[in-house]
Amino acid sequence: MSNEANNVQILKEAYCRWNDSKGGSVEHWFDSVVAPNISFGSVPRGAAPLTFAKQYDNREQLRAYFKGLLEEWSMQHYTVDEYIAQGDAVVARGTTAWTNKKTGKLAETPKMDFWRFKDGKAVEFYEYFDSAAVAAAAT
């Protein structure tokens, strides 16, 4: 299997677990996907009310992202429709929906995740989504 195909397979399994467990597979991301030195970013860049969605520079810091996400939101679905791989990079494109636990409002948005791999582990990630719609659901 090529590195591209292997990287896509790693993500397919992780996203499938993520969706099926409705966010309960955090440890799988840490055990099987992300490298210790991952650079992890998010389009809101920590702006309120999405303060957890910011830049993290290693796997241990990244735990705060998952903690904030899962304390504030309940996943309805996380659907990846397409993977595009070239060299060490993979883009996952789909949609996701989450309900804010405080407001009860639903945010459904297109979702694009950029990944870069090295030696079978993700060393870079950046997520793109409709941050205005998500922020509106949180307020």
pLDDT given at position 25:
97
State the residue for tokens 């297109």: 110
pLDDT by residue (tens digit) across 68-121?
A: 999 999 999 999 999 999 999 999 999 999 999 999 999 999 999 999 999 999
Query: Count of domains in the chain?
Result: 1
For range 119-128, the mean pLDDT: 97
**β pairing state of 121-129 and 106-118:** antiparallel
pLDDT at 1 over 80: no
Provide the pLDDT for residue 46: 81
- Does residue 53 register a pLDDT over 90? no
- pLDDT at residue 126 is higher than 80: yes
Task: Kindly report the pTM of this predicted structure.
Answer: 0.93
Q: pLDDT tens across 8-47, in order? A: 999 999 999 999 999 999 999 999 999 999 999 999 888 8
Residue 14 CA to residue 113 CA, distance in Å, equals: 13
Q: State which residues form the domain around 22.
A: 3-137
Closest CA to 138 of 83, 81, 71: 71
pLDDT above 80 for 134:
yes
What CATH number has the domain bearing residue 97?
Answer: 3.10.450.50
Rg (alpha carbons) of the chain, rounded to whole number:
14
